[in-house]
Copies of this chain bind each other. A is one copy, B any other.
């Protein structure tokens, strides 16, 4: 086929033409009434046949006629209308910082698998770490009458989720905490443990001068990674710290800076994978071979590490596990299982690769 120019198609359906004359026209759906009419019965009966879950007697004859009519008329139930009378909308709201970060897309994919299996749809949005945006998104999700929310909050998350909590919305917080709030469901990684294990591993490989590069997030729980790194080093090793913004470019800049200031550093520990990406680029541009001239330890499993060059040593955060747990905990709440707000803390595990050289 010659795909370059097909030429715009001029065929327009009859419906479109009618619509245009009236200005904005909307999709037209068949209603229960239409189906009832065609099947020669009443709305109530049709409702029972198509969506009913009570125990009501319906003859085979009627059932068949209703089914046929619904099929022919392309009946599609209006979930908004049905949720008016009690019942769930089967809709979940998800707020993550950014789609571009694999850590979050993995969480979402894992959660999605659970939700799809249970017949739930998801409204997914990037907050881009903007609290204003987070606030308005949450409000909009409530307006859509979602059955529950999964959120990785911004720094103002506690305040922004207040409205949701005030109406009793089911909620699961993932990764970052809701600071200042205490009775909520929280699925997260053991950030402190993560930082601790990272330094522990580097020390076990003989490193004593280590650079830690992190993010000034304003989120206490994330800062725990840094604190843990220092605690793990104790007086057995020296950990130099550089914090900056959450971007690849910044990671590169901090990497150059820390190595200039402390040329005796033998290993770098990156707390955040976006920064690590820029950092690793920078190291390679500087002509250093990772795992030989300099050792590198990461937190997380970003896509850019799949380059065939290094099989990076890192702390696996169990991304998929987090998403799966979050979805399961939210569903349990929605389905009314007796349970209490609680923290589900997943431990990190060290994955040994080739980016850390054993010295001495």
Contact = CB atoms under 8 A, between A and B. Distances in A.
Interface in A308-330: 308-309
Contact of A285 (B26, B79, B308): B308
A29 B146 CA distance: 12
A352 interface: no
Contacts of A353: none
Given A126-B112, A284-B309, A3 B191 contact: yes
Given A81-B84, A307-B307, A340-B16, A163 B76 contact: yes
Contacts of A11: 182-183, 341
Given A303-B303, A343-B6, A29 B80 contact: no
Contact of A167 (B13, B27, B143): B27
A189 to B, nearest CB: 10
Contacts of A90: 140
A20 B338 contact: yes
A152 interface: no
Contacts of A304: 303-307
A84 B170 CA distance: 25
A79 B80 contact: yes
Interface in A206-221: 220-221
Contacts of A78: 84, 143, 145
A284 B308 contact: yes
Interface string A5-40: 010111111011001100111111110000000000
A190 B283 CA distance: 37
Nearest to A141: B121
A302 B307 CA distance: 12
B144 A27 contact: no
Nearest to A87: B26
Given A122-B123, A190-B3, A282 B303 contact: no
A100 B144 CA distance: 27
A35 B19 CA distance: 38
10 contacts: A1-B221, A1-B227, A2-B192, A12-B183, A27-B168, A78-B143, A79-B80, A80-B89, A105-B105, A122-B123
